[in-house]
Amino acid sequence: MKPINELDCVALTCDVPEHGLMRGDVGTAVLVHGEGVAYEVEFVGYDGHTVALLTLERAQLRTLEPRDIPHARELAAA
């Protein structure tokens, strides 16, 4: 498993329904806790507004890979 550093783009490996996020949604790691046990990850819409800023465990994230493709979906109303 590749390490995640601050400002790396990451993808969710699971849904986070309480924040309207789904597996595969992409965010940016803005803070690394400890030795990579957990991360503060910011999810931003294309309009530039923060959708969520969450503390997530390593198992909930993966690094982006060269074969990944961007995807757009409409965020459900909260």
- Checking if the pLDDT of 14 tops 80, the result is yes
pLDDT per position as a tens digit, 59-69: 999 999 999 99
| pLDDT value at residue 78 | 58
- pTM attached to this predicted model: 0.92
Counted residue by residue, the chain has a size of 78
Annotate 24-63 with three-state secondary structure.
Answer: CCEEEEEEEECCCCEEEEEEECCCCCEEEEEEEEHHHEEE
**Listed residue (14, 16, 13) closest to 53, CA to CA:** 16
